[in-house]
Structure 1
Amino acid sequence: MSAPTPTPVEAVLFDKDGTLFSFSATWDAWAERVIQKLSGGDGVLALRLAGSIRYDLLESRFQPDSPVIAGTNREAAECLAAVLPGRTASELELFLLAEAASAPLAETVALVPFLAGLAARDYALGVMTNDSETVAREHLAAVGVLGMFDFVAGADSGYGAKPDPAPLLAFADITGHDPARIVMVGDSTHDLRAGRAAGMQCVGVLTGLAPESELAPFADAVLPDIGHLPGWIDR
């Protein structure tokens, strides 16, 4: 018996952090800087702040269960506010947004040629991140790929946040493609659960912190990085 014919692909929607950009290479250094600034040199407070977002100061990396990995800036701010007297979650959210804009960006693959290759196939391309839309646009512009996307949305764009499928369905509606012919690509179960709920094809990538065993139950495939996506589509 022959294998079933794969559903054609007409569009690809990417998560940002851990998918287009390596999570650890981009956000570990950012977290160190945030904790240093908020703690003001108080070592005990620094440990509390790090603990609130599940960041390991000794190893300079996020723990795999950190709420920062797939959460929104608001959720991260609420974690920090719980251990930082005198600062509200709203104030901290604005602080995190400002700090995120200057995060060191490490592309998981060379994005310009990779995205140009997908565009040459006439795919609609989008980004849906639980970061803010403004920061997402700044990051994409910084590496010269903002204009290659037909859709860029964040948790604050008015469509909701993952794992809610609503922002993914907004991409389908705006680009005019059947969700079944869209591939959602991400490094977290938030991405893949949203994709499943939206009726999309789902591909996990291992450039975030989640292991293959965590992603596989929600994915049609788990790839080393987005560079392997064209080969999977052409299978």
Structure 2
Amino acid sequence: MRGVIFDKDGTLFDFSTTWEAWAAAFLRRAAQGDEARAERAGAAIGFDLLRARFARDSVVIAGTPSEIATDLAPHFPDLSRDALVTLLNQEAARAPQAEAVPLAPLLTGLRARGLALGVATNDAEAPARAHLEEAQVERYFDFIAGSDSGYGGKPRPGQLVAFCEQTGLGPDAVVMVGDSTHDLLAGRAAGMRSIAVLTGLAPREVLAPLADAVLPDIGGLPGWLDGIAAL
């Protein structure tokens, strides 16, 4: 292995801590104080506003801002789709981040192994960079792509192919690490090995059939790499 490309939400950062707070803030802002309207809009994207919890099939888990806006649009006819996407991205950039594991030590160790590192997220690029900068880890990555960066979104492999092109690595030398089936399918489509982590909402039994390995979190990645190197 010579490269690792990570999903962001649910992989580098704990999904629930970040996006439950984001969803509540966004829905109440967009609904302009109409709590019933906010609850209905939340249900449309698989979010229970009263319990502040996502359903496992929520579009927010792996969807792009554009896809989320499409599901929200019937509840906010006063906002254009572009305005909804802008509002989604503004709130996303402010969402609190909880690192899945301490990121700086992990990424430092991976760089010390000579690995190229990337991020491929279905979030927009600007909030993704804001999150990485807030965690003070943006500098560790050779490549950062969002769904609006020109490569498409997962489960299509465009972002992963672009990482290989930018780093000069073949896909057989890169591993994709993510918490959703979208991540793992993108890895397979790109010709990469795929590692699943359980810091998102998808359970092991959903991820395991698509993954080369399932880890509790990205902290197990160095041990997995050592195992591959020993083969």
Higher mean Cα deviation, 80-89 or 24-33? 80-89
For residue 170 of structure 2, the aligned residue among 175, 178, 196 is 178
| CA shift digits 1:164-195 (9 cap, x unpaired) | 01110110111011101101000000000000
SS in 1 for 2:101: coil
Instruction: Give % identity.
Output: 56
Matches of 1:50 and 1:131 in 2, distance apart? 18
| CA shift digits 1:41-67 (9 cap, x unpaired) | 223212211111110123211111000
Match of 2:195 in 1: 203
Matches of 1:75 and 1:15 in 2, distance apart? 18
Q: 1:88: Cα distance to partner?
A: 1.5
Q: 1:40: Cα distance to partner?
A: 2.1
Matches of 2:71 and 2:65 in 1, distance apart? 10
Match of 1:124 in 2: 116
Match of 2:133 in 1: 141
Could you tell me the TM-score, scaled by structure 1's length? Answer: 0.95
- 1:101 partner amino acid: A
**Aligned residues: CA RMSD:** 0.8
For residue 23 of structure 2, the aligned residue among 31, 38, 48 is 31
Whether 1:75 and 2:67 are equivalent positions in the alignment is yes
Matches of 1:172 and 1:51 in 2, distance apart? 38
Greater helix content? 2
For residue 96 of structure 1, the aligned residue among 81, 88, 92 is 88
Gaps in structure 2 of 5+ consecutive residues: none
Matches of 1:99 and 1:43 in 2, distance apart? 18
- 1:89 partner amino acid: R
Matches of 2:202 and 2:172 in 1, distance apart? 25
Match of 2:186 in 1: 194
Structure 1 moving runs of 4+ over 4 Å: none
SS in 2 for 1:101: helix
Whether 1:47 and 2:39 are equivalent positions in the alignment is yes
Matches of 2:185 and 2:7 in 1, distance apart? 12
Whether 1:220 and 2:217 are equivalent positions in the alignment is no
Q: 1:18: Cα distance to partner?
A: 0.4
SS in 2 for 1:185: strand
- 1:79 partner amino acid: D
Matches of 1:60 and 1:201 in 2, distance apart? 34
Match of 1:234 in 2: 226
Gaps in structure 1 of 5+ consecutive residues: 1-8
Q: Judge conservation of contact 2:39–2:50 (CA < 8 Å) in 1.
A: no
